[in-house]
Amino acid sequence: MPEKKPSRKPLISGNWKMHHNHFEAIQTVQKLGYRLDKEDYELVDVSVHPPFTDIRSVQTTLESDKIPILLGAQNCYFEEKGAFTGEVSPAFLAKLNVSLVIVGHSERRELFGETDEVVNKKVKAVLRFGMTPILCVGETLAEREAGGTDEKVLGQVKAGLAGLKADQVASMVIAYEPIWAIGTGKTATSEDAQAVCGSIRATVGDLFDDPTASAVRIQYGGSVKPANIAELMAQPDIDGALVGGASLDPDEFAKIVRYRLTA
Ligand code: PGA
């Protein structure tokens, strides 16, 4: 098995989805802060992605308690300002020191009709405001069973990265999240997850170049738990995890971040 590139620092991200009000959010990051130590942050980048209404509270908590967790968002609009009732500008997120924005999560694509074109515009908007996009891609169970995993996932990668420069892609994160594994308790086997993440990296190499492919960080997501994280992280092309359910509980999430202790 090829060695994982030491240049790619693992990134473990907690996607809270529509859970935790701002009081619960403050408590959760404080508890997480108690459970993680300097060595954890040296070895792993950790981000939390609370709902928009929590972001300011989480920002002030992280900054005043000096907790080096990166602040993330779950979505944003692609325009900076204007008559877009109900949308949130990437400029507003950047102003709150948000550093990572999830783009094109399968729930956004499926429930809110986000197309590859919209996702690509959002990726560009996030980069324009100096933040890092986490571009989500993944296949449904029907697509997987029909042998269409690569076609779907690699198509989403190409569309999501269209028009970007190599250095922008090198700074990004791509999250492979098989839709059938999200919130279901089913995880792709680490071999299957590795195979798809390896194809994603090869595609980035074809679209851009080898240095870009070896720099981009690829996360796996879908029912990541303390019990399966170490095996996933041992794969050469898996550089981190996008964690939903298990990130809501600070004990569980801290165990995931400290996967090296259970390996
Ligand atoms: P899950 O969600 O860990 O609850 O499966 C992952 C995600 O949707 O990002």
Structural domain boundaries in the chain: 11-261
What band does 159 get if pLDDT is binned at 50, 70 and 90? Answer: very high
What is the average pLDDT across 77-85?
98
Looking at domain 11-261, its CATH superfamily turns out to be: Aldolase class I (3.20.20.70)
pLDDT at 256 over 90: yes
How high is the mean pLDDT of the chain?
Answer: 96
Looking from the CA of residue 181, the nearest atom of ligand 1 is 5
CA 183 – ligand 1 centroid, Å: 5
pLDDT at 259 over 50: yes
Q: Is 186 in the pocket of ligand 1 (CB under 6 A)?
A: no
Looking from the CA of residue 184, the nearest atom of ligand 1 is 5
Give the per-residue pLDDT at 6. 65
Q: Is 232 in the pocket of ligand 1 (CB under 6 A)?
A: no
Residues 6 or more apart from 229 whose CB is under 8 A from it? Answer: 241, 255, 256, 259, 262
Q: Is 133 in the pocket of ligand 1 (CB under 6 A)?
A: no
The pTM of this model reads: 0.97
CA 230 – ligand 1 centroid, Å: 17
Give the per-residue pLDDT at 186. 84
Per-residue pLDDT tens over the stretch 28-65: 999 999 999 999 999 999 999 999 999 999 999 999 99
pLDDT at 199 over 50: yes
Give the per-residue pLDDT at 5. 62
Per-residue pLDDT tens over the stretch 205-227: 999 999 999 999 999 999 999 99
- Could you tell which of 11, 15, 47, 109 is best to mutate to test the pocket of ligand 1, judged by most ligand atoms within 8 Å of the CB? 15
